[in-house]
Amino acid sequence: MKRLGVLLVSIMLFSVVIVSPVLAQMGQDNMMGQMRGEQFGHMDNRFMGFEENTLLQISNMFGVPVDNIIFDMGLPEDTDPSLTIGEIEAEYGVSGDLVANYMVLHMGNRPTSVNSRGFVEMRQQAMQGIRHQGMTQGLNFMMQGHSAYGNYTTFTFEESGEILNFALSGDVIFDSIKVSDFDYISQNIRGSNAAYIGSSSLINIHDNPMATMQVRAMADKTVVFDLADGVEASIDNEELNGATTIAITKNNFQGFLIVSPDFLTGDQQISDIDISLTDGSITVDLVENSLVMFRATTMSPQFHQTIFQYSSQSLGMHQMVNNGIAMGRVGAEITMHDGGNSMSFLNYTPVNVQVREARQNRLVLGVSSELKEGQVIAIHMDERTMDLTGADRLRLRYDGVPLSCTNNIDELFEGGDQPLCYFLQENDSTSMLVHMPEFSEHEIIIELEPESESAENETEPADESEDAAPIPAFEVLFAVTALGAAYNLRRR
């Protein structure tokens, strides 16, 4: 169990994220001056006159248990279900809009008058409405009862080890994800990472454009994914050194489940992992020191349930990243948003990444590891973080030396003894993959030079004299360390 405790501390330290704004009290915000809940009335007439309905009536109308509504809204346990939504707002300060947004995201009875795209739009509006009322921005989970509302990822967690209504940008991908014998101990939600600790397994869910979700097994575990309506699954038969990827598709959406060794434990090979696909579900029988993770191919929220099609470059890049994760070739993945003010960080192998500076148009990373083999680091940035309308001014440096880039992503993953990068810009985001051939300690700088600077400076090393100190949020977080230590003591 000592190794388990160390692993948990490592995982949670690697999952640190920036920006944890204080949540304001839920309450009196009347969205756009509309009647409570009626912002959805034009799509679902059950929301017309919403505030005049009782708690029991909306429970029956939308198929959400009264007890769930009371708990998740933070109402007293003895709240009278015969109170109207308007009366609840007046007495307890819980906004009718908040309740309406909650019903959209948790309803069991979907309106027949709304098509798939319209329902996703309702869910997107509801999740952002809840976050707006909680004054939550960026890559950051807002918690309300058992439910987590991220900018991209939303879900509900039950202490039995079940995740309900797992969605990306309002589009439900899994109705449920169940981990056997979870034996819940504790949880830690900080910024864009939600970690749920069981006696011999760990669930990590991230708020990022990939809606990354990981289940790590420290003993044999069965994980069952129940697919949402319209979702299909198929096993990819590509040889990945014993690992497996499973394509998850829905209308125009694509993501993958990755079943592999947990490379953070040091084990490079696993065997005897059974995977079965039945109508509407996927069952993965994990063994000790293995994991299953979900990772979506990124899509802007406005494109879900439309005729949008991924580009071949985007599909190819994400497929290579998935395969690299499965084989232990990708060490870490970082997503930067809002000019570097919020980020999501995942670690796949024992590679230590420190954000030394993060601001608009400039990112400085320190990377170190004791691994002998090379690794790829994946970095994703929105347009507010890196303005690539002037892509000719982009400068990438590796240990102060200009970094060569390739248009062939296969070349990047083939390795080699020289650092190399791959660059892809699509829609409102930019992805950079950096191959690091060997390790000690290295620095990666990504920045845009000011327009006034001459092209002659293109190959000159950057001046490091004014580099900012490492971002404090990436220093050791005592609360996270204490959580891992307490877990280790308990398991003794």
Percent of the chain beyond pLDDT 70? 84
Cα separation, 198 vs 408, whole angstroms: 42
In terms of Cα–Cα distance, which of 45, 50, 136 is closest to 101?
A: 50
Check residue 438 and give its pLDDT: 85
Check residue 133 and give its pLDDT: 84
User: Two tokens at 197?
Assistant: 């600790």
Cα separation, 163 vs 377, whole angstroms: 29
Give the confidence band of 236 by pLDDT, cuts at 50, 70, 90.
confident
Cα separation, 181 vs 18, whole angstroms: 32
Q: Over 80: is that where the pLDDT of 271 sits?
A: no
Q: What is the pLDDT of residues 440-486, one digit of tens each?
A: 789 999 998 877 654 444 434 333 334 434 443 333 332 333 334 33
Q: What is the pLDDT of residues 328-364, one digit of tens each?
A: 999 999 999 988 888 999 999 999 999 999 888 899 9
Check residue 449 and give its pLDDT: 82
Check residue 302 and give its pLDDT: 84
461 vs 223, more confident: 223
Q: Which of 122-131, 152-161, 380-389 has the lowest mean pLDDT?
A: 380-389
302 vs 33, more confident: 302
Check residue 452 and give its pLDDT: 66
Check residue 36 and give its pLDDT: 57
Across the chain, mean pLDDT equals: 84
The arithmetic mean of pLDDT across residues 402-410, rounded, is 92
Check residue 428 and give its pLDDT: 79
AA letter at 70: I
For the entire predicted model, the pTM comes to 0.84
Instruction: Answer for the pair 203, 210: CB distance below 8 angstroms, yes or no.
Output: no
Convert the chain into a string of H (helix), E (strand) and C (coil).
CHHHHHHHHHHHHHCCCCCCCCCCCCCCCCHHHCCCCHHHCCCCHHHCCHHHCEHHHHHHHHCCCHHHHHHHCCCCCCCCCCCEHHHHHHHHCCCHHHHHHHHHHHCCCCCCCCCHHHHHHHHHHHHHHHHHHCCCCCCCCEEECCEEECCCEEEEEECCCEEEEEEECCEEEEEEEEECCCCEEEEEEECCEEEEEECCEEEEEECCCCCCEEEEECCCEEEEEEECCCEEEEEEEEEECCEEEEEEEECCEEEEEEEEECHHHCCCCCCCCEEEEECCEEEEEECCCEEEEEEECCCCHHHCCCCCCCCHHHHHHHHHHHHHHHCCCEEEEEEEEHHHCEEEEEECCCEEEEEEEEECCEEEEEEEECCCCCEEEEEEEECCCCCHHHHHHEEEEECCEECCEECCHHHHHCCCCCCEEEEEEECCEEEEEEEECCCCEEEEEEEECCCCCCHHHHHCCCCCCCCCCCCHHHCCCHHHHHHHHHHHHHHC
360 vs 58, more confident: 58
Q: Which of 2-11, 112-121, 220-229, 472-481 has the lowest mean pLDDT?
A: 472-481
Q: Which of 202-206, 417-421, 482-486 has the lowest mean pLDDT?
A: 482-486
Convert 398-428 into a string of H (helix), E (strand) and C (coil).
ECCEECCEECCHHHHHCCCCCCEEEEEEECC
Check residue 479 and give its pLDDT: 32
Check residue 63 and give its pLDDT: 94
Give the confidence band of 491 by pLDDT, cuts at 50, 70, 90.
very low
Sheet with strand 351-359: strands edge to edge: 351-359, 362-369, 441-448, 394-398, 401-402
Structural domains of the chain ordered from first start: 31-135 (no CATH), 329-476 (2.60.40)
User: Two tokens at 241?
Assistant: 């050194």
Cα separation, 23 vs 143, whole angstroms: 9
Q: Over 60: is that where the pLDDT of 490 sits?
A: no
Check residue 82 and give its pLDDT: 97
The arithmetic mean of pLDDT across residues 391-406, rounded, is 88
Check residue 14 and give its pLDDT: 44
Q: What is the pLDDT of residues 101-132, one digit of tens each?
A: 999 999 988 888 888 899 999 999 999 999 98
The arithmetic mean of pLDDT across residues 60-71, rounded, is 95
Q: Which of 11-15, 50-54, 261-265, 402-406 has the lowest mean pLDDT?
A: 11-15
Check residue 104 and give its pLDDT: 95
